């Protein structure tokens, strides 16, 4: 009996030790976040174990769990008709308000998050999000299921996002769905916010307009390209009228911004996990993870040209209250240069924050949501600032008690308080601006 009791105590202590994660005192509903993080970490550890045993890639394991727990079949209600379809050859779930006669509606193209490797627009959380948008805004919402890493890597996800965007903006598709061509928006959260920002910049791939060089420590140079933007593409008669970016990930050249330093161990998106997602997305060798994490801040990066460095200069782009006491991080001993090995790190299609000011100035009115306890906070804040400096009207909304992913956790069973507030604000902004 004593042995069982002792074993139970030890198991309880071990479980508590595994579950508990120290959190900032100001984060919203910390125990909910702790339990969510423990669940997510257990799935990640199970995936890593499956990969180590040679059973499958860790991401495949994670997506298998997500599919079993979250993916649901389309179901319609008296107010919203839901169907699975395709847009530009890309799978998508369509949410159409019922009734309304022949009047033209607004339209939103939505890209889900998940590090370009996880998730689906058919997940329950995204289904409920888009269903609510369609119902409350009387808006046609199309949630895109772009291809996922590691089976598909950059630029496949970007190409799917662009193909879906071009199809949705075509007069034929807008007419089919009864959408007003002057009231079409693009939106997404996290990696989906990355894709939304990239297609809002309307990157084209027909020819090059800008070329920059990065000088490396070993005196070699790496040439990388900014692809021409088609904000002025005459082949597209309809453009997005707004972009709504929810805690977007926008660059990987500086994983030492103040928010990365402050929140490196804050759930649910730890710094090392974000770096891991970047390498999976860009099809890079996972052994580069420690080198990516030990790369210096962009301001001190010897391989980044001054013109690009200015696009990431958080000492000038961030307000003092967000810079806090943090300083740029220098080169760590033994760190390996990764920009030459992973060219996607400096490709504007993967990192929209690197876009030239003239390109940003042609993008539509923007909503950028950020959370204090999120490694991606400064990506969004810097992008909002650069958009404003380029002349774009920007609504920048920051949640001092928010954490990464909070908006999609606003539904049962998590019912995040800050998530519900952020969702209400997001829908209200769409209603007033789209």
Half-sphere exposure of 82 (CA within 13 A, CB side): 24
Backbone angles phi, psi at 82, to 5 degrees: -120, 130
Q: According to the model, what pLDDT value does residue 201 have?
A: 96
d(CA 96, CA 135): 8
Task: Give the pLDDT confidence of 322-379 residue by residue, as tens digits.
Answer: 999 999 988 665 556 788 899 999 999 999 999 999 999 999 999 999 999 999 999 9
Q: According to the model, what pLDDT value does residue 334 have?
A: 53
Q: According to the model, what pLDDT value does residue 234 have?
A: 59
Q: According to the model, what pLDDT value does residue 233 have?
A: 56
Task: Give the pLDDT confidence of 52-87 residue by residue, as tens digits.
Answer: 999 999 999 999 998 899 999 999 999 999 999 999
Where is pLDDT greater, at 308 or 159? 159
State the pairing for strand pair 179-189/210-215: unpaired
Q: According to the model, what pLDDT value does residue 191 have?
A: 98
Q: According to the model, what pLDDT value does residue 101 have?
A: 77
Where is pLDDT greater, at 343 or 305? 343
Q: According to the model, what pLDDT value does residue 298 have?
A: 75
d(CA 49, CA 136): 43
Which of 18-22, 39-43, 252-256, 303-307 shows the lowest per-residue confidence on average (mean pLDDT)? 18-22
Q: According to the model, what pLDDT value does residue 426 have?
A: 98
Please, what is the end-to-end C-alpha distance for the chain in angstroms?
66
Cβ atoms 201, 352 nearer than 8 A: yes
Q: Would you place residue 411 in the very low, low, confident or very high pLDDT band (cuts 50, 70, 90)?
A: very high
Neighbours of 144 (CB within 10 A): 30
Question: In sequence order, what are the residues at sequence separation of 6 or more whose Cβ sits closer than 8 angstroms to the Cβ of residue 380?
Answer: 193, 245, 247, 248, 250, 368, 369, 370, 396
Q: Indicate the pTM of the whole model.
A: 0.91
Whether residue 163 is predicted with pLDDT greater than 70 in this model: the reply is yes
408, two tokens: 């999609």
Where is pLDDT greater, at 421 or 231? 421
Whether residue 207 is predicted with pLDDT greater than 90 in this model: the reply is no
Whether residue 223 is predicted with pLDDT greater than 50 in this model: the reply is no
Q: According to the model, what pLDDT value does residue 1 have?
A: 58
Q: According to the model, what pLDDT value does residue 2 have?
A: 58
Q: Which residues have a catalytic role annotated?
A: 190, 374, 404
Q: Taking Cα atoms as reference points, which of 259, 184, 226 lies closest to residue 352?
A: 226
Q: According to the model, what pLDDT value does residue 55 have?
A: 93
Average pLDDT, integer, range 377-382: 98
Whether residue 315 is predicted with pLDDT greater than 80 in this model: the reply is yes
93, two tokens: 């779930």
The share of the chain scoring above pLDDT 70, in percent, equals: 86
Whether residue 220 is predicted with pLDDT greater than 60 in this model: the reply is no
d(CA 299, CA 349): 22
């Amino acid at each position: 009996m004593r042995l069982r009791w002792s074993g139970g105590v030890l198991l309880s202590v071990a479980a508590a030790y595994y579950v508990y994660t120290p959190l900032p005192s100001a984060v919203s509903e910390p125990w909910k976040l702790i339990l969510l993080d423990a669940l997510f970490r257990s799935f990640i550890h199970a995936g890593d174990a499956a990969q180590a045993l040679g059973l499958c890639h860790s991401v495949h394991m994670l997506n298998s769990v997500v599919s079993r727990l979250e993916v649901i079949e389309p179901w319609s209600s008296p107010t919203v008709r839901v169907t699975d379809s395709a847009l530009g050859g890309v799978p998508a779930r369509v949410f159409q308000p019922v009734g309304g006669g022949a009047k033209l509606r607004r339209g939103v193209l939505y890209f889900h998050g998940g590090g370009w490797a996880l998730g689906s627009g058919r997940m329950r959380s995204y289904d409920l999000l888009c269903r609510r948008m369609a119902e409350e805004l009387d808006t046609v919402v199309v949630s895109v299921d772009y291809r996922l890493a590691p089976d598909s890597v950059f630029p496949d996800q970007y190409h799917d996002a662009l193909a879906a965007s071009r199809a949705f903006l075509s007069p034929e598709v807008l007419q089919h769905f009864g959408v007003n061509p002057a009231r079409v928006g693009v939106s997404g959260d996290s990696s989906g916010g990355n894709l939304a920002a990239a297609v809002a910049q309307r990157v084209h791939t027909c020819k090059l307009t800008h070329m920059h060089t990065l000088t490396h420590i070993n005196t070699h140079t790496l040439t990388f390209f900014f692809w021409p933007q088609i904000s002025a593409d005459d082949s597209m008669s309809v453009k997005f009228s707004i972009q709504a970016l929810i805690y977007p990930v926008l660059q990987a050249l500086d994983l030492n911004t103040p928010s990365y330093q402050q929140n490196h161990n804050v759930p649910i998106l730890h710094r090392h996990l974000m770096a891991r997602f970047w390498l999976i997305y860009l099809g890079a060798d996972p052994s580069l993870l420690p080198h990516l994490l030990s790369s210096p801040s962009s301001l001190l990066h010897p391989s980044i040209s001054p013109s690009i460095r200015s696009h990431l200069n958080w000492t000038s782009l961030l307000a003092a209250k967000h810079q806090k006491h943090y300083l740029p991080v220098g080169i760590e001993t033994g760190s390996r240069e990764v920009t030459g090995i992973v060219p996607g790190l400096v490709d504007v299609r993967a990192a929209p924050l690197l876009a030239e000011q003239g390109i940003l100035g042609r993008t539509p009115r923007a909503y950028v949501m950020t959370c204090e306890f999120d490694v991606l906070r400064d990506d969004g804040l810097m992008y909002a600032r650069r958009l404003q400096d380029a002349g774009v009207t920007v609504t920048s909304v920051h949640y001092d008690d928010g954490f990464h992913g909070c908006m999609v956790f606003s539904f049962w069973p998590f019912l995040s308080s800050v998530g519900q507030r952020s969702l209400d604000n997001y829908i209200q902004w769409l209603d007033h601006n789209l």
